[in-house]
Amino acid sequence: MASVNRVYSALKDLVNKDQRGFVTPAVFNSFASVAQMNIFNKLFDDAALNKRIRNAQSDAGRDKSRVKQANEDLSYFSKLSTISLTTGVGDKPSDLARVISIITTDATAKNVEIVYDEEKIDYILRSTLSAPSTSFPVALVSSDVQVFPTSIASVKMRYYKQPEGLNVTTGARVAIQPKFGYTVVAGKEVYSAANSVDFELPEHYFAELVVEIAKLIGVNLRDQDVYAYSVNEEKTA
């Protein structure tokens, strides 16, 4: 996964290229999670675009396929959680980004139709032809998850989780956002793996993370040269 130390070091080199400023760890940490989320959200746009490219039969095959690459990157954030229901209502996972599918937890594991429109679910519930049943359940996903019929006690949701961070030493996932940790030695901030959290995005997003944080810092510092430089790097990457 992308090293927070490498990203921060590269970013300092970018911003300090003309000795025009200095990126402190506090500034970097304030933008690190935002940059990661921006790139994560862009993956969905890329996946939709790549699918259109494949449909147009202009996508490369096998390992060069853009569709395959986007799906592989998104699959890293795929997660399965069981949602307990009380009279058909349960809480959404706290780290939910986007729902993929919902199935029942019984032996037959039936697919649950997902609805996001309250008006549509009202129409379904009133229907004499398509009313939900244990064989054909329906879920309304809004502020919570409502499953019909309400006799269903639990469901399993497959979803894309929000990106968080990785333990620098073990590589294990942690519910903490990326952070450059340090100790002060002779008045300077020195990287400390024990206090740091790596990005959850794969290593090949290293350059995009540097550019994205540079753009965010450029806007924050009102430094148009930094912003222009980062945009140019993004276009030529």
Is position 73 within any domain?
no
Domain with 88 in it = 78-161
Same domain, 33 and 103: no
Percent of the chain with pLDDT over 90: 62
- pLDDT, residue 227, reads 59
Can you tell me whether residue 175 is helix, strand or coil? coil
Is position 48 within any domain?
no
Domain finish residue from 161, 181, 212? 161
165 with 1: CB under 8 angstroms?
no
The yes-or-no verdict on residue 226 having pLDDT over 60 is no
Pairing of strands 113-115, 154-161: unpaired
174 with 197: CB under 8 angstroms?
yes
Is position 25 within any domain?
yes
Same domain, 177 and 128: no
Q: What is the pLDDT of residues 88-108, one digit of tens each?
A: 999 999 999 999 999 999 999
The pLDDT of 138-154, averaged and rounded, is 97
Is position 228 within any domain?
yes
CB-count exposure of residue 19 (10 Å: 0-12, 13-18, 19+): exposed
The yes-or-no verdict on residue 127 having pLDDT over 50 is yes
Same domain, 124 and 199: no
Q: C-alpha 131: how far from its chain's center? A: 34
**In degrees, to the nearest 5, what angle opens at C-alpha 196 toward C-alphas 190 and 199?**
125
Same domain, 174 and 133: no
The yes-or-no verdict on residue 191 having pLDDT over 60 is yes
Q: Compute the half-sphere exposure of residue 227: CA atoms within 13 Å on the CB side of its CA.
A: 9
Same domain, 197 and 150: no
- pLDDT, residue 181, reads 97
Same domain, 180 and 154: no
The yes-or-no verdict on residue 56 having pLDDT over 50 is no
Is position 110 within any domain?
yes
Same domain, 139 and 187: no
Same domain, 151 and 98: yes
Is position 218 within any domain?
yes
Can you tell me whether residue 196 is helix, strand or coil? coil
The pLDDT of 36-46, averaged and rounded, is 89
Same domain, 100 and 130: yes
The pLDDT of 149-178, averaged and rounded, is 96
211 with 39: CB under 8 angstroms?
no
What are the CA-CA distances from residue 142 to residues 98, 108, 173 (Å)?
Answer: 12, 26, 27
- Give the whole-angstrom CA distance, residue 139 versus residue 71: 25
Domain finish residue from 161, 181, 197? 161
Same domain, 84 and 156: yes
Domain finish residue from 161, 191, 225? 161
The pLDDT of 8-19, averaged and rounded, is 77
Region of poorest pLDDT, from 105-119, 138-152, 188-202, 218-232: 218-232
Same domain, 82 and 156: yes
Kind plus residue range of the DSSP H or E element containing 83: strand 78-84
Is position 115 within any domain?
yes
Number of structural domains the chain divides into: 2
Is position 63 within any domain?
no
- pLDDT, residue 54, reads 47
| 3 φ, ψ (degrees, to nearest 5) | -75, 125
Same domain, 185 and 121: no
